[in-house]
């Protein structure tokens, strides 16, 4: 097969935040970080993020421990007022900014890193009560109903009013900096939600090290975020005439007509290359050779790292496992383009590395 180029970082693989564990401060509340001039806060709740004007909505401390929920979102540091307002959960008279006590917003604080201009970025994983409190406060400031903030409006990411969006809807639209911040925040949010107790003692654990550790307060044992590596591969068969066909499968749990390249988790004691070969044989009955790495992408749904490969099939014989895969098929480039155009086959978009690999293969020939 014609080798595919290594994928350029795209979608959720993009990031411009600079990470250094020494920048996280020594306290779980991140008071040291929040005291640094210009520090910004972004909000997340159960996989959704607060967005306005095409980027993550940034909150800034207007005075000690008070954040402005409806600050102008121009990416520039907020200018201090001549007479700082008192922190309150009620909107100021008229169209002025709305402030609230930072401590009143419950949840887990995460140090996300530092932007190229030196701005420290903190994520706040809101608990349910605080999400409701934020929605109600924003709705009052906008003269709307809190329910209006539950779904992204038809105007899209450029909506001026702060609005909640699912991470998948943001993946291609955000800047490199914001894509990395959002992906990290959602990934760590999933980890914190799924691991509230120590696996050793069963006791509740507490966030530490800027949200990157959970510590057992009884034993002092530290537990770290989990990332599950998974391989995802474009398996290609080349016939005697030199025409290539890509192997796509339809998972038994997917809607009809949906196909993608094959994927699976890496097992203990297994190399990435061997995982590629095992998964392809298990799911499609195909032996393949020459696994070649083409790129990776974090996929925090809930905690995967997708490692992209190509591989060469020894033959075109297929035998779907009948369990995980309901159907596996070979497509030439011409056949796949025609099937997608006719909507006979639905393939992933370029939000995911699966769609990016398929697009790269389709661009590689007639």
Contact 349, 355 (CB under 8 A): yes
Strand pairing class (228-238; 304-313) = parallel
- Give buried/exposed letters for 326-338 (b at 16+ CB in 10 A, else e): ebbbbbebeebee
Q: Per-residue pLDDT tens, the chain, 366 aa: give them.
A: 889 999 999 999 999 999 999 999 877 789 899 989 999 999 999 999 999 999 999 998 765 566 667 654 444 333 333 333 333 333 333 333 455 667 778 899 999 999 999 999 999 999 999 999 899 888 887 766 555 555 555 456 777 889 999 999 999 999 999 999 999 999 999 999 999 999 888 999 999 999 999 999 999 999 999 999 999 999 999 999 999 999 999 999 999 999 999 999 999 999 999 999 999 999 999 999 999 999 999 999 999 999 999 999 999 999 988 889 999 999 999 999 999 999 999 999 999 999 999 999 999 976
The three-state DSSP-derived secondary structure of 279-342 is HHHHHHCCCEEEEEEEEEEEECCCCEEEEEEEEEECCCCCCCCCCCEEEEEEEEHHHHHHHHHC
| Cα–Cα nearest to 340, from 285, 258, 228, 272 | 258
d(CA 122, CA 114): 9
d(CA 207, CA 200): 16
49, β-bridge pairs: 44, 165
The DSSP 8-state label assigned to residue 74 in this structure reads S
Residues 310-328 have pLDDT tens digits of 999 999 999 988 889 999 9
| Cα–Cα nearest to 238, from 316, 339, 293 | 316
In the sheet that holds 222-223, the strands lie side by side as 206-208, 213-215, 222-223
The DSSP 8-state label assigned to residue 346 in this structure reads B
d(CA 351, CA 349): 5
- Give buried/exposed letters for 22-57 (b at 16+ CB in 10 A, else e): eebbeebebebbbebeebbbbbbbebbbbbbbbbbb
Residues 204-259 have pLDDT tens digits of 999 999 999 999 999 999 999 999 999 999 999 999 999 999 999 999 999 999 99
């Amino acid at each position: 097969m014609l080798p595919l180029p290594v994928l350029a970082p795209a979608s959720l693989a993009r990031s411009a935040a600079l990470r250094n564990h020494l920048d996280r401060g020594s306290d779980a509340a991140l008071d040291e970080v929040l005291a640094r001039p210009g520090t910004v806060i972004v909000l997340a709740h159960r996989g959704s993020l607060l967005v306005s004007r095409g980027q993550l909505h940034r909150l800034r401390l207007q005075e000690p421990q008070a954040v402005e929920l409806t600050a102008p979102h121009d990416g520039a540091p907020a200018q201090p007022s001549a007479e700082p307002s008192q922190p309150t959960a009620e909107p100021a008279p008229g169209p002025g900014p709305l402030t609230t006590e930072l401590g009143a917003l419950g949840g887990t604080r995460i140090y996300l890193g530092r932007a190229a201009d030196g701005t420290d970025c903190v994520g706040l994983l809101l608990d349910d009560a605080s999400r409701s409190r934020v929605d109600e406060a924003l709705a009052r400031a906008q003269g709307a109903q809190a329910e209006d903030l539950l779904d992204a409006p038809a105007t899209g990411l450029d909506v001026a009013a702060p609005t909640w969006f699912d991470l998948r809807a943001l993946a291609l639209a955000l800047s490199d900096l914001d894509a990395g911040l959002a992906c990290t925040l959602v990934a760590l949010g999933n980890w914190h939600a799924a691991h509230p107790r120590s696996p050793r003692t069963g006791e509740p654990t507490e966030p530490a090290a800027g949200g990157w550790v959970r510590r057992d307060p009884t034993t002092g044992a530290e537990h770290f975020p989990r990332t599950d590596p998974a391989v995802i591969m474009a398996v290609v068969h080349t016939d005697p005439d030199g025409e290539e066909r890509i192997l796509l499968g339809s998972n038994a749990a997917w809607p009809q007509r949906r196909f993608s390249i094959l994927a699976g988790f890496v097992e203990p004691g297994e190399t990435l290359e061997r995982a590629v070969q095992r998964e392809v044989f298990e799911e499609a009955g195909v032996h393949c050779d020459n696994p070649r790495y083409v790129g990776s992408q974090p996929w925090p749904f809930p905690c995967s790292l997708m490692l992209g490969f190509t591989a060469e099939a020894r033959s075109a014989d297929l035998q779907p496992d009948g369990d995980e895969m309901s159907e596996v098929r070979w497509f030439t480039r011409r056949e796949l383009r025609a099937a997608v155009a006719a909507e006979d086959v639905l393939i992933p978009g370029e939000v995911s590395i699966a769609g990016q690999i398929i697009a790269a293969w389709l661009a590689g020939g007639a």
